[in-house]
Amino acid sequence: MAKNYYDITLALAGVCQSAHLVQQLAHQGHCDSDKLKVSLRSLLDLSPASTLAVYGNDEENLRLGLETLLGIFNTNQRQGVGAELTRYTLSMMMLERKLNKSSQTLDELGRRISQLDRQLAHYDLESEPLVSAMAGIYVDVISPIGPRIQVTGSPAVLQNSQIQSKVRATLLAGIRAAVLWHQVGGSRWQLMFSRSRLVNQAKTILDNL
């Protein structure tokens, strides 16, 4: 069966977008608020009508992720900013693979995420209670399956508990994107052997924005 590279590229951009937001948070203590909202909101739709529906039915919402995807594929950096983005992206995909092997953990993740809807009735998406709840899901459900994602940045920034919560919530959103990527036909083989197709698809989407 032919792969749908449009959906695969969108979902992969979702992972890359989370990686970029984590990097911004870890180094600067803040990130693109609109893009963070897009990533956090993607956690709430567990039965989407389409891949794009997870991201508000607007390709523009994934611009940062698509640009990051191209940056990752076009860099050979083994250190610094580019290497961090690659490491975060691959680490989230690795955790998704471990998650996928445990139906019990997947069920628990779905149960905990479905509870966020009740809190959303009382709090804004980016509010401290809701972000803390998302971070709690990451700590309780994702962290135990390991390996831990080592986030690097400013030590002063990373000591801030609110930043820690935002980082964990954003990583959770990235793993949700990796789950979606797997569901629509994404595989690690494509990262090695179909990079040009993914790059061309990302460029086509960006050119049409």
- pLDDT tens digit sequence for 157-203: 999 999 999 999 999 999 999 999 999 999 989 988 999 999 999 99
**148 or 14, greater pLDDT:** 14
What pLDDT, in 10s, does the model give residues 113-129?
Answer: 999 988 888 889 999 99
Query: Which residues contact residue 174 at a Cβ distance below 8 angstroms, ignoring those fewer than 6 apart?
Result: 14, 15, 17, 18, 19, 22, 39, 88, 89, 92
pTM for the full model? 0.95
**45 or 153, greater pLDDT:** 153
The strand ranges marked E within 48-163 are none
- Measured between alpha carbons, how far is 112 from 197 in angstroms, rounded to an integer? 36
Q: Is the pLDDT of residue 1 over 60?
A: no
The helix/strand count (H/E) of the chain reads as 11, 0
Q: Is the pLDDT of residue 80 over 80?
A: no
Question: In degrees rounded to 5, what are phi and psi of residue 149?
Answer: -85, 120
Query: Which residues contact residue 81 at a Cβ distance below 8 angstroms, ignoring those fewer than 6 apart?
Result: 23
Least confident of 31-35, 38-42, 88-92, 116-120: 116-120
Q: Is the pLDDT of residue 76 over 80?
A: no
The pLDDT score that the predictor gives to residue 113 is 93
The pLDDT score that the predictor gives to residue 146 is 83
Q: Identify the architecture of domain 5-207 in CATH.
A: Orthogonal Bundle (1.10)
* 8 Å CB contact between 146 and 98: yes
Q: How far is CA 116 from CA 20, 28, 44, 55, 164, in A?
A: 24, 27, 7, 17, 19
The pLDDT score that the predictor gives to residue 22 is 98
Nearest Cα to 167, choosing from 144, 179, 147, 150?
Answer: 150
